[in-house]
Structure 1
Amino acid sequence: MNFKKLDIEDRDIFQKFLGQYEFGTYEYSFLTLYFWRKMLNVEYALIDDALIVKKYEEQKGSYFMQPIGYKEESLMKIIEKLRQIKASDASFKNLFRDIELPFLYKLMDLYKDDVCFCEDINNFDYIYNASDLITLKGKKFHRKRNHYNQFVGNYSYEIKDISEPGVINDCIDFAQYWYENRQEDDIQLEYELEGIKEVLPKYQFFGIQCMAVYVGGKIVGFTVGEKINKDMAIIHVEKGDFNYNGVYAFINKTFAEKYLSDVKYINRQEDLGHKGLRKAKMSYNPVKLERKFIVDIKGHSTLHGDIPLSKTNTYN
């Protein structure tokens, strides 16, 4: 089976299979896959009229995402072909990652007790009510309101859309500045910077919303989002200058208010197990955490200590 490296001209193929985007996580967005394609070595193939996405990471090895656009009667045949590929390729550690709960149930219906799975807790998506991020009402958002008001009260700011002259270059320059002044050494940030440089000039092609914030004519932050369907938007990038108190609270609220007020939910992605990021994401009071699973089928499993399945979205 020949897999093709993902490139920009493949968008139409993916959009055909993704349709109205019925996934609960941000993983299956074409923009997500394209943005991170180099870090994750994203490839795809068509198998029995289904779109199959394969990734490779050094620590996780190769793995498949769940098949996209498959016919129910073909699912087991597709999975058996994927198992054969895994069996013949030593780079695979697990058969599936980025698996959402409904597809896990389908696998359990097909393979019963032969399904081995565990929650990929560091990769749960944080889902927020858009109205909460816009209004910041109530005691639980008291600190966020204070941070937002600090920025509004202390700085003479200006908001610009990505379509305005010079904003794309300003955002890219700021991302470079942010990267060079980061506190941690993380290879993922290098790929993120490369992704920003690639997708912002093509914002119309990707359907990106982007807002930049200026103080005294100088850019101090920007954010990039995508309305993935009528109910959900994804925040792909958010950068701010910590020298300006409250800048992140301002960006978060203002972008939701001006660009995302017509969606119900905002997906702000995962925390990757970073304690600081987890604390920051929890501080905005998510309404749920969209679970993802690592899955194998017995005979080719590397999972141990599988946990019982629960139908509730919980987080410990």
Structure 2
Amino acid sequence: MLRQDDFRPVTLADRAFFEKHYTVYPQRHSDNTFTNMVCWNHFAGYTFAYVEKNLILASTIGSVTRFRSPIGPRNPALLRSLIRLASDVSDNEPIVLIDPDTAVWMREVCPGINLVPDRNHFEYVYRAADLAELPGGNYLTIRRQLNKFRKNCASTVEPISENNCDDIKRFLIEWCEWKGCESGDPVLANEKEAVFFAIDHMKDLALRGLAIRVSSKIGAISLYEPMTSDTALVHFEKGLPDCDGIYKAINSETAARLAKKFTYINRESDLGVPGLREAKLRYHPHHMVEVCSMKRDS
């Protein structure tokens, strides 16, 4: 019987364990990645249990704990045990971010289970070459905006490293002031700390990053890592409004480097934010990483 006592916090020291498990069971959704969990731990309180060769993740935001489906060999008894635990301790959405194959299996094990698509957490996956080259009519407007940036803004591109770490942090403080991180949005309010953690632990997490400098000042950054053998994951992409088109520029520069090694780029979800959804759709995703949630019957 699975119990809450089986779960312990995810820490930076657990990286080797997660890497080994994910080598056998690759993850397609960014929320399950080790980097995401340790960077957002201060906000989402990630924990995990390892039971019968299955990894089970949970996160607690505020007072609500939600679980992920087991990652490992299919085990119907363990699934039923997880459903009982999650139903006892969670809210009306006890298990989340369920991938389509797992959803099929869960319905086979538990006929009648209520699984509902979670569009706000679908992730956008693009062909790396498309983001790098912006080919054809679909990208005409984006190419124009990028060309305008390159014409009007004297810029240079550099890797994020110890040499420019202080400049990056000054940029992040300014970005947060511009975005109003303290305005009340819980995700935005905690994003600054998540990015700072990523910057401080780039080597520990095997992260890479790029920065665009405009007139000697950092104007945009991106942080990314390999996700699977054919897909890279962009965790953070930030820019200041000082020079129009700088978001197009950091996207293009990042993709140009990733396209040399990866076929696809996962740029995470839109969280249901209308403007962000429009921006992500404008780049014409190759496919979506679809997920659903278990809902309590009303």
TM-score (norm 2): 0.92
Given residue 212 of structure 1, which amino acid in structure 2 is its aligned partner? A
Aligned partners of 2:157 and 2:211 also within 8 Å: yes
In structure 2, distance between residues paired with 1:151 and 1:196: 25
Asked whether the 8 Å contact 2:222–2:234 carries over to 1, the reply is: yes
Using the alignment, how far apart are the partners of 2:177 and 2:191 within structure 1? 13
For residue 42 of structure 2, the aligned residue among 38, 44, 65 is 38
Report whether the alignment pairs 1:28 with 2:32: yes
Task: From 135, 147, 150, give the equivalent of 2:148.
Answer: 150
SS at structure 2 position matched to 1:158:
strand
CA distance in 1, matches of 2:220, 2:206: 20
**Quick one: which of 140, 156, 159 aligns to 2:157?**
159
Aligned: 1:182 with 2:185: no
CA distance in 2, matches of 1:291, 1:143: 28
Determine the structure 1 residue equivalent to 2:106: 107
* 1:209 corresponding residue in structure 2: 208
CA distance in 2, matches of 1:164, 1:197: 13
Cα RMSD of the aligned pairs, angstroms, is: 1.8
Distance (whole Å) between structure 2 residues aligned to residue 262 and residue 182 of structure 1:
33
Q: Give yes or no for contact 1:209–1:259 (8 Å, CA) kept in 2.
A: no
CA deviations 1:222-269 (Å, max 9, x no partner) are 111111122111111111111201101110011110244321111111
Structure 1 gaps of 5+ residues are: 297-301, 305-316
**TM-score, with normalisation over the residues of structure 1?**
0.87
Q: What amino acid is the match of 1:66?
A: S
Identity over aligned residues, as a percent? 25
Instruction: Please name the residue that 1:196 is paired with.
Output: 195
Cα distance, 1:117 vs. partner?
Answer: 0.8
Q: Distance in 2 between matches of 1:229 and 1:152?
A: 32
8 A Cα contact 1:134 1:261, kept in partner: no
Aligned residues: 292
Distance 2:272 2:93 in 1: 20
- Residue 63 of structure 1: which of 66, 75, 78 is its match? 66
Gaps in structure 2 of 5+ consecutive residues: none
8 Å contact 1:157–1:213 — kept in the other structure? yes
- Larger CA deviation: 180-189 vs 282-291: 180-189
Q: Distance in 2 between matches of 1:182 and 1:246?
A: 17
1:180 is matched by which residue type in structure 2?
A: E
